[in-house]
Chains A and B, each alone.
Chain A
């Protein structure tokens, strides 16, 4: 498996976790989630220590899970507090519990054996900011997460895969700049289009008629969080000298890239905007449009996964200028995957 352990990953939206047991596999580890009576999210290994029965197929009783097979009962920490038919609870009767933080509408889970530091969780503050309106979803991807990283780091594919939604000829035709902040492990890719066609995604949501100035500023915090700061405005309209931008439309496109297995990925997507905040039609349109775009990617990446699994070892792919950012992301991910499990 080529996972970067000892990192925070988005496991779910907060709204997905309630008083029902919720199963999701993260980095190959089956987990069960629930919300305690006090409202905190709990994450435990989804396998009874006794005979492996999935705890997610069991019953939540107060803040404990009662295994649906033989009644082994676990508290929020994963400790077994009851076994059937006997008083003695074996010392090893516990399941792993996972550190969890709810932030920016996401449930983040720490996968690893090092100490979890919540300060390391990258932020996507727009998703829980009343100054923005957000639509979001998650699509399962039958492809390895690296393919989604490649996809998102090179937006020139919008022109070809997402024409009629977010792609126009200018995206693929405009040079990018790439920057890697080694100290903080962040990759930036920027594409600023001075005079571009306005794709339906932005024309219908902003009401702009005619050509636009369109900026795409990617900020990838590997392994999990991808931010696309998107700014559109009527052509030639730029931010003010003081940095304010009253005539620009800002869309924060957020992806959380969470490996499920070595060959499948949870593709979380969210679109936050700072305009038409109360316009339900705009929300419905952006939700449907972005979901369509994500599903176009899903179809393409699922096909790539099948191709990769069928090809002989050692296939040599080709990289060109548009891949500069994706190559940088691959390198940092590879470094994270290679990090030893324990600190010295």
Chain B
């Protein structure tokens, strides 16, 4: 069974920073939710697992 495909975006407390976490484990910080969703949904392009 494949791992569930779940995308997460956390808003770092005390900052304006969003952190996107892909189901593959890749993470990226950004200050624009549109850019961050674009990056997340481009998986696997540009996603380096942690």
Contact = CB atoms under 8 A, between A and B. Distances in A.
Interface of A: 175-183, 319-321, 323-324, 327-328, 331
B26 interface: no
A324 B18 CA distance: 9
Interface string B1-38: 00011111111110010100001000000011110110
Nearest to B37: A327
Interface centre among B8, B9, B10 (most CB of A within 10 A): B9
B13 A323 contact: no
B33 A183 contact: no
B33 A182 contact: no
Task: Bin chain B's interface residue count.
Answer: 20 to 34
Contacts of A331: 37, 41
Contacts of A319: 32-34
Contacts of A183: 4-5
Interface of B: 4-13, 16, 18, 23, 31-34, 36-37, 41
Top 5 A-B pairs, shortest CB-CB distance: A175-B11, A182-B5, A324-B33, A178-B9, A180-B7
Given A321-B18, A327-B33, A182 B11 contact: no
Nearest to A177: B10
B5 A177 contact: no
A75 B16 CA distance: 60
Contact of A182 (B7, B10, B16, B36): B7
A83 B3 CA distance: 58
Contact of A327 (B6, B10, B31, B34): B34
A328 B13 contact: no
A122 B36 CA distance: 29
B37 A182 contact: no
A148 B7 CA distance: 23
A182 B33 CA distance: 18
A218 to B, nearest CB: 14
29 contacts: A175-B10, A175-B11, A175-B13, A176-B11, A177-B8, A177-B9, A178-B8, A178-B9, A179-B6, A179-B8, A179-B9, A180-B7, A180-B8, A181-B4, A181-B5, A181-B6, A182-B5, A183-B4, A320-B32, A320-B33, A321-B11, A321-B33, A324-B11, A324-B33, A324-B36, A327-B34, A327-B37, A328-B7, A328-B37
Nearest to B16: A321
A51 B9 CA distance: 54
A175 B4 CA distance: 25
A185 to B, nearest CB: 11
Contacts of B23: 182
A112 to B, nearest CB: 25
A190 to B, nearest CB: 10
A91 to B, nearest CB: 47
A175 B14 CA distance: 8
B3 to A, nearest CB: 10
Contacts of A179: 6-9
